Structure 1
């Protein structure tokens, strides 16, 4: 509430807006920045120029051309686990914009007409919080292709959303950001309102190498550690799958450490929580041969390799 008063002293909240305040994340509370994302530099560069700068420097763009403003909508699409949600959070953090995270459960209501009022509150609250990013994850589940068999209430909610989206009078300081792995299911009318679309694809070998270096930052590595070899082994993995494989690999020297202590002590080793014992709690450096020796890591690779090609828009 204090943040709203700071940005707009005359703002008063309706009961619907107050309920939505639980979904607002302040930019300083988001701990993810562009530097924490590996392998998506081309998308990040474009987001800086077309979204970030217009959000943070509206005066400059308005002075030089009315066309130079952030788009009303941006769509991130691609396979699961490739960093779409992380990109959305980083964009909010870097732009110092409030992040309004909309879930379908926030909109759905059993009473007829209540969902329309909630949708209206989303945009009215966003205006009071601007600059604001309205983020809808799995946007295809809400704004999917309209059909004659749709329930009347859902049809009205979609129409209300489109009307309010088109009626924004914010000079580009409110952005609707959607993420999906099924872009072809989104209604064409909603796609028109998201002119900037970014395909967040599975990383290639060079991008996997960059992700690896980010994941293993702070982990002691063996001098012979070969990033190129491990990156090649991870062909077909998404960013989140790479993280899990790295977690499994780091557990190999950790497991060896505990087994060694168990053999030395002759009983189950329980480490002390005392600060003075930290130096003895040191495992060996991580080697590239530690990857994929665990069955869970191998299963992750097999599952990800069969995931198929990245989805595209026809």
Structure 2
């Protein structure tokens, strides 16, 4: 007979009790460790806040999902925008008719009339659109109007929603951008100041940053990208050459928004001043458009604001008691006139000159 080894029943019971006790002790240890980890994570409260914002926005937009969103998708979903609440429309943008026409053809129609683009591969919309040009020329306004007109879900992607201090978390968030966009399609992902996020790669890049950029690029337009998804990346920048060439290639539709010409300035002023009470409005608009060379659309709006303030100043100077009065029923302000705009232009030029001198002094100090 061969020798056989058997464990006494008492020993078996002790082993089982020991294993059970060890397993039970792991449960509180796990929860203690998890609690400590969350307390040590300074971004935990921000994550919870983002999830709450995301859930609220999803309910507000009436989005019905077949499967729940992951915690990473919820983090990105906090950047969703309710396009119905946007007040910017095409009629609010002056002097950019040619850009608006191209946006309608390249972005809006493929989303609203996909049947027109299904007959040929050459008619497929681009994966990305880049708006570039000097500051204050209407790039962000165009993005807002595009979001409203397209009827697509709009994600205003913030860099803070993508990058995480923990290793590997940022890559998961990059993946969540596209998985969320696919669940909500058609989707427009807007990245303002895209040059800061997708800057040209170099050997000095941190390993984590390089990995996030590579993954973002692969998910955007790589071997495994599903071409049937209706996802568009729209970027805006003042420095297009700072954007990585590989990302620029994925944005074949590049729309340059320059400083407005005289005729474009006239159209911008007509939009800005359409509801204002001005003496000889048509001649004022025409003359100011001719005299405001080099000003952007944003500059023109600020100039008009300065001009409007002169009415308030004159009212207070003519009615000393008005400064102390609160909640006056209907203060009667005079009409704006050409002189208001000339004074505003002179003030604006002086402010711009001071700003330029300050900038020059700062650069000189840095060089020294």
Aligned equivalent of 2:263: 206
Aligned equivalent of 1:312: none
- Give 1:253 deviation, angstroms: 1.4
Cα gap change, 1:82/1:12 in structure 2, threshold over 3 Å: closer, same or farther? Answer: same
- Give 1:256 deviation, angstroms: 0.6
Asked if 1:32 is matched to 2:83, the reply is no
- Give 1:71 deviation, angstroms: 0.9
Aligned equivalent of 1:136: 191
How high is the TM-score relative to the length of structure 1? Answer: 0.88
Residues 269 and 300, structure 2, Cα contact 8 Å, conserved in 1: yes
Whole-Å Cα distance in 2 between the matches of residues 36 and 72 of structure 1? 27
Asked if 1:285 is matched to 2:342, the reply is no
Deviation by residue 1:147-175 (Cα, 9 ceiling, x = unmatched): 12211101100000011001442536211
Residues 185 and 229, structure 2, Cα contact 8 Å, conserved in 1: no
Whole-Å Cα distance in 1 between the matches of residues 353 and 85 of structure 2? 36
How high is the TM-score relative to the length of structure 2? Answer: 0.76
Cα gap change, 1:304/1:208 in structure 2, threshold over 3 Å: closer, same or farther? Answer: farther
Residues 69 and 171, structure 1, Cα contact 8 Å, conserved in 2: no
Whole-Å Cα distance in 1 between the matches of residues 351 and 188 of structure 2? 33
Identify which of 85, 98, 113 aligns with 2:153: 98
Whole-Å Cα distance in 2 between the matches of residues 296 and 85 of structure 1? 26
- Give 1:197 deviation, angstroms: 0.1
Asked if 1:297 is matched to 2:348, the reply is yes
Whole-Å Cα distance in 2 between the matches of residues 300 and 198 of structure 1? 30
Whole-Å Cα distance in 1 between the matches of residues 110 and 323 of structure 2? 59
Whole-Å Cα distance in 2 between the matches of residues 169 and 99 of structure 1? 20
Identify which of 252, 266, 272 aligns with 1:215: 272
Whole-Å Cα distance in 2 between the matches of residues 128 and 3 of structure 1? 17
Structure 2 gap segments, 5+ residues each: 1-57, 360-368
Identify which of 309, 316, 324 aligns with 1:251: 309
Whole-Å Cα distance in 2 between the matches of residues 172 and 44 of structure 1? 24
> 14-23 or 173-182: which moved more?
14-23
Whole-Å Cα distance in 2 between the matches of residues 109 and 161 of structure 1? 15
Residues 236 and 301, structure 1, Cα contact 8 Å, conserved in 2: no
Whole-Å Cα distance in 2 between the matches of residues 48 and 33 of structure 1? 13
Whole-Å Cα distance in 1 between the matches of residues 266 and 156 of structure 2? 31
Residues 238 and 304, structure 1, Cα contact 8 Å, conserved in 2: no
Deviation by residue 1:198-222 (Cα, 9 ceiling, x = unmatched): 0110001111111111111211010
Asked if 1:46 is matched to 2:97, the reply is no
Corresponding residue pairs, total: 297
- Give 1:130 deviation, angstroms: 1.2
Deviation by residue 1:128-147 (Cα, 9 ceiling, x = unmatched): 11111100111111111111
> 95-104 or 220-229: which moved more?
220-229
Identify which of 77, 100, 110 aligns with 1:21: 77
Identify which of 114, 120, 126 aligns with 1:58: 114
Residues 134 and 176, structure 1, Cα contact 8 Å, conserved in 2: yes
Q: Which structure is larger by alpha-carbon Rg, 1 or 2?
A: 2
